[in-house]
Amino acid sequence: MNKLLLPLLAAIVASATTFSAFAEEIKGDATRGATKNAMCIGCHGIVGYQASFPEIHKVPKISGQGAKYIVSALTAYKKGERKHPTMRGIADSLTEQDMADLAAYYEASGAVAGATPPGKAADGSAKAVELVAKGACVTCHGDSFSKPLDPTYPKIAGQHSDYLYVTLKAYKTEHNPQVGRGNAIMGGQVKQFSNAELKELANYIGSLPGELKTVPQHKFK
């Protein structure tokens, strides 16, 4: 074998081994996640719970959400790409393993055995249809809004409309140390809409049947 190839081959093997170990290390465990959600259930484990920052809105339903999206979201809070003081503080306290475990737990906690996934979303008003087409929403979130084309994208059908509205506005917010989301794709999309249009879009998507839910803890039932 060419001696010059030996170091390269060794590096490739070492990289593959490292990647394999890393991938194994961050595999989520739903059972472990159920023991790590104490900081989550105070908001996400109460049906209809409302947050007051940056304005009053229901906290998102996360049971049934895709695990890879949850990890992506928590990572964005930890990096400061998503600005929210409370979520940033919680994310900072989590290891990558914690995030993976919590994500696995919440993905599983909303699953219903034998349930049929939502089909293509019914059209809303003529204005809603126009806005969905303008934003090319189905390109990433799927035509049911419950089957995103990439697992790091969220399911959004049936999510609380007021939360969706606040979230969409956050992608428009710039130069605010406490509010805003740094995502180039979403930022570019939402800036073409007025806030009134974003509210109509949020109301339509929130009205759709979906797989997201709030699963209350026993202490909050």
Q: Digits of tens for pLDDT over the chain (221 positions)?
A: 444 444 444 444 444 444 444 445 589 999 999 999 999 999 999 999 999 999 999 999 999 999 999 999 999 999 999 999 999 999 999 999 999 999 999 999 988 888 898 999 999 999 999 999 999 999 999 999 999 999 999 999 999 999 999 999 999 999 999 999 999 999 999 999 999 999 999 999 999 999 999 999 765 44
Q: Are 33 and 105 in contact (CB under 8 A)?
A: yes
Q: Can you tell me the distance from the alpha carbon of 191 to that of 221, in angstroms, rounded to the nearest whole number? A: 40
Query: Cα-flanking dihedrals φ and ψ of residue 5, to 5°?
Result: -85, -20
Dihedral (CA of 207, 49, 111, 25) sign = positive
CA 172, distance to chain mean position in Å, is 18
For residue 187, give both structure tokens.
């930022």
